[in-house]
Amino acid sequence: MPTKPSLSSINALILDMDGVLWRDQQPIGDLPTIFQAIERSGRKVVLATNNATLSVAQYLDKLRRFGVELQGWQIVNSPEATAQYLKKRFPEGGSVYIIGEAGLRDTLEAYSFHHSETDVCAVVAGLDRQFNYEKLKTATHLIRSGALFIGTNPDRTFPTPQGLVPGAGAILAALQAATDVEPIIIGKPSVEMYRLALERLNACPEETLVVGDRLETDIIGAQRLGCRAALVLSGVTSESVARSWQSAPDCIATDLTEVIALLTKD
């Protein structure tokens, strides 16, 4: 049976998306009811995702289609965190080679980083469902020529209604094999995304619960920063794997509905 500890000290929530809120275009549970329960409890919430395929505006649109209205400050995604990292390294912006989809390209563009195949300061790689050998070859040449190699996130897979499919981490693995260079990872388990989420929540780690479906990113990232962590079994992780994990999460639940029920019960 899932672990059900008291969560009465929790005042803020950081929720993952894929495997927690939905599988691709299929919601997990009654999302409007879940977010209404969070609002009634008086707890603040931010969504933090490694998925780099959509921009903040696109995530807000997706939530609306599921009947949930949030504000832009409540979305933290790896493209935004990647753009902020690049801006610190290259304040004037510049040319980058992007392996990724519209959410990543549009976000980097907004921070003055433009896609190019020559003379780039960095190769930025995320999930790209049109990834092919030509993109691999171009990125390999640029990285071997000295371009910074940045990965939006290390997730090897992500959940869909049909099962697990390759994620950004699978593309990063191909690039690392071809270049002998390890990428700089921006998304979870790096704590930078969680720090940004805590700033927006105006909350401290001890009073914040992170809810995710992936032990090696969501849960480890939360534990590194000192947040409480709840693992849901609605995504990529089985209960047997969760219970054998050495750094156990504070809570193991079937899905987000169960986590929110525990919160509101306390």
CA 48/CA 13 separation, integer angstroms? 10
| Tens digits of residue pLDDT in 31-46 | 999 999 999 999 999 9
| Tens digits of residue pLDDT in 69-83 | 999 999 999 999 999
- Using CA atoms, how far residue 45 sits from 36, 62, 190, 198, 202, in Å, is 11, 17, 20, 10, 11
CATH class of 79-185: alpha beta
Name the residue ranges covered by the structural domains of the chain: 12-50+188-265, 79-185
| Tens digits of residue pLDDT in 145-204 | 999 999 999 999 988 888 999 999 999 999 999 999 999 999 999 888 899 999 999 999
Place 1 in a pLDDT band, splitting at 50, 70 and 90. very low
Domain 12-50+188-265 classified CATH 3.40.50.1000?
Answer: yes
Place 265 in a pLDDT band, splitting at 50, 70 and 90. confident
| Tens digits of residue pLDDT in 112-149 | 999 999 999 999 999 999 999 999 999 999 999 999 99
According to the model, what pLDDT value does residue 192 have?
84
- For the record, the structure tokens of 94 come out as 């510049």
What does the mean pLDDT of the chain come to?
94
According to the model, what pLDDT value does residue 6 have?
63
12-50+188-265 and 79-185 share one fold: yes
According to the model, what pLDDT value does residue 3 have?
55
